[in-house]
Amino acid sequence: MTDTAAASPPMDLHKTLGQVRVLEMADGRAVIEYEAGMHMCHSGGVVQGGFVCGWIDAAMAHASMSQTGPDMTPMSLELKVSFFAPARPGKVVAEGWIERSGKSTSFAEGRLLGPNGEVLAKATTTIRLMPRARVEAAARAVAE
């Protein structure tokens, strides 16, 4: 695997999720703007729930990375999402924050906001903090 190949999956992931930009990422908090497209929808223009989960999960992971730096990788151990209203095509904002963090485990919360600031979904997660080098070595071993 080349350095270029190693760098492209995150950018492909951001593109797949419709990430527009990271609005905030500091002090255990992250805010990310996404563009929900019709290609992400099922019946009646409702965004498929997996995208909603992915957006909030990414915001919570970014919140974790804002505390740990680039040498640690946040790995979701569990994720619970409650849906309050449908996400529709257009801009949405995912927010994530760390509630409590230890040496190897963090607890985070997040939410997805619609274009008018209404809460569309909320989530909680338990994150295992793993050394990035270990995660990348395991990925290389599987790819070979």
Provide the number of structural domains found in the chain: 1
- Does the model's pTM come out above 0.75? yes
CATH of the domain at 27: 3.10.129.10
Write out pLDDT tens, residues 107-138. Answer: 999 999 999 999 999 999 999 999 999 999 99
**How are beta strands 41-42 and 29-36 bridged, if at all?**
unpaired
The conformation of residue 8, written as its DSSP 8-state character, comes to H
Residue 93: domain span:
3-143
- Average pLDDT in the 16-33 region? 97
Q: Is 51:39 a contact under the CB 8 Å cutoff?
A: no
* Torsion angles phi and psi, residue 73, rounded to 5: -115, 125
